[in-house]
Amino acid sequence: MCGIVGAVGHEQCSEVILDALKRLEYRGYDSSGIVTINDGAIALKRAVGKLANLDKALRASPLIGDVGIGHTRWATHGGVSTENAHPHVAADRVAIVHNGIIENHRTIRRRLEAVGHKFFSDTDSEVLAHLFVEALDAGLDPAAATRRVLAEIDGAYAFAMMSIDHPDMLIVARNASPLALGIGDAACYIGSDAIALSHLTRKVVYLEDHDYALVRADGVSVYQADGTPVNREAVMVAASPGLVDKGGYRHYMEKEIHEQPDAIAHSLAAMTDESGRLTAKMSDDELRSINGIVMVAAGTSHYATQIARYWIEALAGVPVACEVASEYHYRQPVTAPYDTAIAISQSGESLDTMMAMRHAAKSGLKTIGLVNVADSTIAREADTVLPTRAGPEIGVASTKAFTAQLTVLLCFAVALARAKGQIDIARAETIHAEIQGLPRLVGKALGLFDAIRPVAHQLSQAKSALYLGRGALYPLALEGALKLKELSYIHAEGFASGEMKHGPIALIEDGLPVVALLAADTVMTKASSNLREASARGGKIILLCEARATDEVDYASAVVTVPDVDPLLAPILLAIPAQILAYLTAVEKGTDVDQPRNLAKSVTVE
Ligand code: AGP
């Protein structure tokens, strides 16, 4: 998603801004730019491609000035080009950077062009610069000009504006897209998230929706949409002085796959109370009051909810609905059967998921945010937070956050079942012990890279692949297919094994790779007979299974086994070979593993 950074009061702020933009690279982008005010004039540099291209342009002719804004763009409206890169400048007087979508930008653009404004890009964002020129031309002061602009635009936005009329400040505003203000000693900063600023300052003010602020070197003034000053409490965020680095691995994704034992162990620790019992950050009374759960999420996080549904319904007997977040609040869902909504999001900023959680809250449901970024928007708005402790996940393809989400969700299911008397203490403690054994088992599964490499080499030649799973392994099949698609660009589809005979088996032809997930669970026999049907028609079975399930399938072209594990935990452990397979296939294909084409780490537009 787009990244925004700004600084005011810092000598040579363009270098500070470029360095901060590098901390947002993980969000995914396709162009970038920086603008400063130097000697009363706007000075602009933009480049397509990686930040290295912008860095080169800045070295060739540095930008001078102690106030500036920068941006990494993930194209939504308008293709990838220098003209469409931010910052956008209007009348050589106002510059803006924007994250989000101005829904009514066409109407505004037509109105402004009719009165002589000249546009130079195809973006929605450029209208903001022209609206500010118009407001300043009307003699409005910065705050009044901002209120006038905000009154006219619809949609999600986090933007920063600067003008040669007021060279001592930045003007910022947010609605639905995140924005943080960093309070330094002699300078202030703005950033799409605190990670971009935490090497400059740990004192951060988060704007709420419809807030706007004037940011000067000596401090910030925050206002609500109607102009009422408001005091947003500054918080101290965790320090992350250095750039997150790859730690010797080839890719962030490879590093994060290897960090999963720790991610699971730390997330389990966060779900264990001081007496060593599994907790869900709520009292037993609060847990007992839960009688129906809606889970809203996107992408990989959505597949985590689908796996969790098997656990929560089987263990706690509480009905669960898993909703694709982007569909949920638009389909006018019937919320009456549910009293609790769980929003699951690694970034805590996916706009689809946040809007779905807000809809649930408006409908009277209690909200739980299960997030990996503690001070994210979803975490701040949810009634209760269930934290994953996976650490910063930089690779766009989610790995350690996924298995951390599953760990937290299984702990939640056990705590809920125990509170509702559906399982006894002994059963709860047995499962707890199994989960405590997971980091060791995952560590052993990380030894599969060499075994999977030849399988990945074969798979990288394929044009298409199927992923099959049954029971709680069905959503893992969906996730495995997503991993292969988003990393190697090979088309892949996940199916419930039992669903194949209802149509998809027509896809099977000689040599088609079929990645099959199998565990020694209650549906293993049925799942293996579904696989036999696929194999009998020429499907090339790639079996990812528990060691004790290998005898079930004697016709696989490749078998990758993980240690035996309680069936409840099989979806977490089998995620490891599925991730490794997708990663190594992408390496074979030579794709941009950490920032696959067209993707962003956090999708903050609808
Ligand atoms: C996962 O590999 C993808 N990058 C994507 O599906 C991601 O899970 C989805 O965009 C949701 O992100 P979130 O968990 O940060 O909300």
Q: What is the per-residue pLDDT across 508-532, written as a single tens digit (0 to 9) for each?
A: 999 999 999 999 999 999 999 889 9
pTM: 0.80
pLDDT value, residue 243: 53
Class in CATH terms, 3-248: alpha beta
Q: Are the C-beta atoms of 352 and 325 separated by less than 8 Å?
A: yes
**Ligand 1 pocket, 369 CB below 6 A?**
no
**Ligand 1 pocket, 398 CB below 6 A?**
yes
Atom 7 in ligand 1: residue holding the nearest Cα: 299
Calculate how far, in angstroms, residue 601's C-alpha sits from the geometric centre of ligand 1.
7
Q: CB neighbours of 151 closer than 8 A, spacing ≥ 6? A: none
- Substitution candidate for ligand 1 out of 484, 603, 604, 605 with most atoms within 8 A of CB: 603
**Ligand 1 pocket, 84 CB below 6 A?**
no
User: Exposed, middle or buried: residue 463 (CB in 10 Å: 0-12, 13-18, 19+)?
Assistant: exposed
Tokens of 297: 């999420």
Torsion angle, alpha carbons of 353, 335, 374, 69, to 10? 40
As a whole number of angstroms, the distance between CA 464 and CA 475 comes to: 19
pLDDT value, residue 238: 65
CA gyration radius, the chain? 25
Cβ atoms within 10 Å of 165's Cβ, excluding its own: 14
Which ranges of the chain have pLDDT less than 50?
Answer: 241-242
**Ligand 1 pocket, 299 CB below 6 A?**
yes
pLDDT value, residue 332: 92
Residue 209 has, within 13 A of its CA and on its CB side, a CA count of 15
Q: What fold does the segment set 443-606 form as a domain?
A: Rossmann fold (3.40.50)
As a whole number of angstroms, the distance between CA 574 and CA 473 comes to: 9
pLDDT value, residue 1: 67
Pairing of strands 491-496, 513-518: unpaired
Atom 2 in ligand 1: residue holding the nearest Cα: 397
Atom 5 in ligand 1: residue holding the nearest Cα: 299
pLDDT value, residue 215: 98
Calculate how far, in angstroms, residue 16's C-alpha sits from the geometric centre of ligand 1.
29
As a whole number of angstroms, the distance between CA 530 and CA 539 comes to: 12
- Ligand 1 atom closest to residue 603's alpha carbon, by position in its atom list: 10
Q: Are the C-beta atoms of 307 and 402 separated by less than 8 Å?
A: no
Q: Quick check: do 263-436 and 443-606 share a fold?
A: yes
Atom 4 in ligand 1: residue holding the nearest Cα: 397
**Ligand 1 pocket, 603 CB below 6 A?**
yes
- Substitution candidate for ligand 1 out of 192, 295, 344, 347 with most atoms within 8 A of CB: 347
Q: What fold does the segment set 263-436 form as a domain?
A: Rossmann fold (3.40.50)
**Ligand 1 pocket, 347 CB below 6 A?**
yes
Query: In terms of C-beta distances under 8 Å and separation of at least 24 residues, what long-range contacts does 197-201 make, across chains too?
Result: 197/5, 197/20, 198/237, 198/238, 198/239, 198/240, 198/241, 199/19, 199/20, 199/23, 199/239, 199/240, 199/241, 199/242, 200/7, 200/16, 200/20
Q: Where in the chain are the domains?
A: 3-248, 263-436, 443-606
**Ligand 1 pocket, 163 CB below 6 A?**
no
**Ligand 1 pocket, 350 CB below 6 A?**
yes
Q: Is 50 tagged catalytic?
A: no
Q: Is 545 tagged catalytic?
A: no
Between the alpha carbon of residue 213 and those of residues 13, 37, 190, the distances in Å are 20, 19, 10
**Ligand 1 pocket, 481 CB below 6 A?**
no
User: Exposed, middle or buried: residue 83 (CB in 10 Å: 0-12, 13-18, 19+)?
Assistant: middle
Q: List the catalytic residue out of 45, 366, 485, 601.
A: 601
Atom 3 in ligand 1: residue holding the nearest Cα: 397
As a whole number of angstroms, the distance between CA 28 and CA 594 comes to: 9
As a whole number of angstroms, the distance between CA 373 and CA 194 comes to: 10
